[in-house]
A and B are shown apart, each in its own frame.
Chain A
Amino acid sequence: MSDITSLTLTELIKNIKDKKISSEETTKAFIERGEKSRDLNAYITEDFSNALLKAKSFDQKPNFDLKLPGVPMAVKDLFCTNGVKTTAGSKILNNFIPPYESTVTQNIWNEGAILLGKLNCDEFAMGSSNETSFYGNVQSPIDKDLVPGGSSGGSASALAANLTPITIGTDTGGSIRQPASFTGTVGLKPTYGSCSRYGIVAFASSLDQAGPMSKDVKDCALLQEIISTYDEKDSTSIDFKRNEYSKELTNNIKGKKIGIPKEYRVDGMPKEIEDLWTKGIEYAKDCGAEIIEISLPHTNYALPTYYIVAPAEASSNLARYDGVKYGFRSKGENLIDMYEKTRSEGFGAEVQRRIMIGTYVLSSGYYDAYYLKAQKVRKLIKNDFDEAYKKVDAILTPSTPSAAFKIGEKTNDPVSMYLNDIFTVPVNLAGLPAISIPAGVDDKGYPLGLQIIGKAFDEQNILNIAYAMEEKIEFKNKITNWWIK
């Protein structure tokens, strides 16, 4: 085995099951690579020595019937892990050790996987470049001083750099799909209610979903079937029949109707994105799909709607960080002063900005004008998709309006940063599943992604389309190891 860390999850599992490599060897390989890759700043917390112990114990009594037998993996630091520090990228949680496990991570450990550590992310998942993390920005393995995207930037960076064979992120407005697109990896945002939100640090509860990030579509399907379970601990978890996505995966998508929404041809879209999209349409046709022009007339209103709904929910969710029961506390002259100083010193600038927006749009006299208005427009956006799905089975768009940008390039202009999510946000507002797959590169060689949006609960269909297109695209991620001295 020349390089364990560059294998896909599926290949890795086969090697472990065939006893060509042990869990310990595998875990050691990923740990060594992690130690050599600290300049990427992908990890907030390494749990390497525990990982090795767990791998050794797996090897002593291996259970090869499990879906992830002794497979080590790192996860976004937004998932609560029992006994392992969980920060959500924030100073306010820099000493928080959860006494419980998130359902999604528990599902993964139940299948035999081993935690390597917790991956960097934007603070409370609020960001599109991983630059809002209290623990510093993350470098992209694609190029030096390039953002990996966000908020699941540490996850995307670690995956593309072979520090983990697979990972999980969360997606509130594009936080899985945009970093996947920026790093040449695959990322799926499942249907709202598909994966339990129990134990995930909350950002915007009506939009948040956990999802898999992987090197190819097959791995993505396998991880999705493991993490998606009905959970009575999340009142918005939906009890529907879930497929064995990896077993039912097929590249036969003949006759599938794929919609191309004209509103996604936005002003000033770079030619390389336009070309990528055109190429994507050709690939879909080559696979036997039928291409149909569709209209999603309220697309332009999705971002303004999102920037009311998400901060409103965030301001409410983040009210719990008051310095009393857990987390950072600042000294104050009295209780109120303690609250105000704790939150002022504990939250970073972007989080404070969003709490302020949210508080404002929910405040007396403004609720109807902003929050209620946004909820009504959200309905119109969902109606657009409902109409479109009377004619098509899935929708194909670019994942992002541009390739990855340089660190620091957009930090002073919040609105230009928000525009990154223009193609991903409508999906969260409508609660739909969508997958981003790598499909090409720009003139600098930076990866570009295509997004396939499905009907609610139709993950299998978009995974199949992605699987078929992946075969035609034959994308190869170029990782130069520039950060390894």
Chain B
Amino acid sequence: MTIDLKTIKHISKLSRISVDDAKADKLVEDLNSIFDFIEKLNELNTDNVEPLTSVAETTLKLRADEVKSKNIRDKILKNSPDENEDFFVVPRVVE
């Protein structure tokens, strides 16, 4: 299978990464060479194999839902690229 320019533009939308035409051409080339390599998996019949989702064979533990980090609001907001009083600021979304 081959990945074309249209597919790259579609993935770019899905992943919220803008790509210009030069970058898109390079991605077509790179992703095709990577997927050629990945296609090797099709040699294997996996019809009766259970997928492995986690190597950690434990059941999740429950814990009390408690607040442990307190009074770090200012430290958190300080990392924000744009803030206003107690809020994160984003470009206008409602017209």
Residues of A within 8 A of B (CB): 95-97, 99-100, 192-193, 206, 232, 235-236, 238-239, 298, 300-301, 303-305, 307-308, 315, 319, 322-329, 332-341, 343-344, 347, 352-353, 355-357, 359-360, 363, 370, 372-380, 382, 413-415, 418, 429-431, 456
A95–B55 contact, CB under 8 A? no
Residue from A95, A340, A347 in contact with B79 in the complex, judged by beta carbons closer than 8 Å: A95
Residues of B within 8 A of A (CB): 3, 7-8, 11-12, 14-19, 27, 30-31, 33-34, 37-42, 44, 46, 49-56, 58, 60-61, 63, 69, 72, 75-76, 78-82, 88, 90-93
A325–B91 contact, CB under 8 A? no
Given known contacts A100-B69, A360-B31, A380-B44, A238 and B58 CB-to-CB distance under 8 angstroms: yes
Residues of A within 8 A of B30 (CB): 353, 414
Q: Can you report 29 residue pairs joining A to B where beta carbons are below 8 Å apart?
A: A97-B78, A99-B76, A100-B72, A193-B58, A206-B53, A236-B54, A236-B56, A308-B38, A319-B16, A322-B16, A325-B88, A328-B81, A334-B91, A334-B92, A339-B16, A343-B17, A352-B17, A352-B27, A353-B27, A356-B27, A356-B31, A376-B46, A377-B46, A378-B52, A414-B33, A414-B34, A418-B34, A418-B37, A456-B55
Residue from A334, A372, A415 in contact with B37 in the complex, judged by beta carbons closer than 8 Å: A415
Residues of B within 8 A of A327 (CB): 79, 81
- Give the shortest distance, in Å, between B82 (CB) and chain A (any CB): 7
A377–B31 contact, CB under 8 A? no
Cα(A381)–Cα(B78), bound, Å = 45
A356–B15 contact, CB under 8 A? yes
Cα(A232)–Cα(B61), bound, Å = 8
B18–A340 contact, CB under 8 A? yes
Cα(A348)–Cα(B2), bound, Å = 24
B49–A379 contact, CB under 8 A? yes
Residue from B14, B40, B76 in contact with A359 in the complex, judged by beta carbons closer than 8 Å: B14
B50–A376 contact, CB under 8 A? yes
- Which of B27, B40, B88, B90 lies at the interface centre, i.e. has the most chain A CB atoms within 10 A of its CB? B90
A373 nearest CB neighbor, chain B only: B41
Residues of A within 8 A of B52 (CB): 375-376, 378-379, 382
Cα(A380)–Cα(B46), bound, Å = 9
Residues of B within 8 A of A333 (CB): 91
Q: Give the number of A-B contacts (CB < 8 Å).
A: 165
B78 nearest CB neighbor, chain A only: A97
Cα(A239)–Cα(B59), bound, Å = 11
- 6 nearest CB pairs, A to B: A431-B55, A375-B51, A329-B81, A326-B79, A99-B75, A376-B46
Residues of B within 8 A of A382 (CB): 52, 55
Cα(A444)–Cα(B64), bound, Å = 58
A376–B49 contact, CB under 8 A? yes
A377–B18 contact, CB under 8 A? no
Residues of A within 8 A of B31 (CB): 353, 356-357, 360
Residues of B within 8 A of A325 (CB): 76, 79-80, 88
B46–A373 contact, CB under 8 A? yes
- Give the shortest distance, in Å, between A343 (CB) and chain B (any CB): 5
Residues of B within 8 A of A328 (CB): 81
Main secondary structure of the interface of A (DSSP, over half): helix
Residue from B38, B61, B72 in contact with A99 in the complex, judged by beta carbons closer than 8 Å: B72
Residue from B16, B41, B58 in contact with A304 in the complex, judged by beta carbons closer than 8 Å: B41
Residues of A within 8 A of B81 (CB): 323-324, 326-329
A359–B44 contact, CB under 8 A? no
A324–B90 contact, CB under 8 A? yes
B41–A374 contact, CB under 8 A? yes
Residues of B within 8 A of A375 (CB): 51-53
Cα(A206)–Cα(B57), bound, Å = 12
Residues of B within 8 A of A377 (CB): 41, 44, 46, 49
A230 nearest CB neighbor, chain B only: B61
Residues of B within 8 A of A338 (CB): 90-91
Residues of A within 8 A of B46 (CB): 373, 376-377, 380
Residues of B within 8 A of A347 (CB): 17
Cα(A378)–Cα(B54), bound, Å = 10
Given known contacts A338-B90, A414-B30, A193 and B56 CB-to-CB distance under 8 angstroms: yes
A206–B15 contact, CB under 8 A? no
Given known contacts A193-B58, A430-B55, A357 and B14 CB-to-CB distance under 8 angstroms: no
B55–A357 contact, CB under 8 A? no
- Give the shortest distance, in Å, between B89 (CB) and chain A (any CB): 9
Residues of B within 8 A of A336 (CB): 16
Residues of B within 8 A of A300 (CB): 40
Residue from B18, B41, B88, B92 in contact with A341 in the complex, judged by beta carbons closer than 8 Å: B18
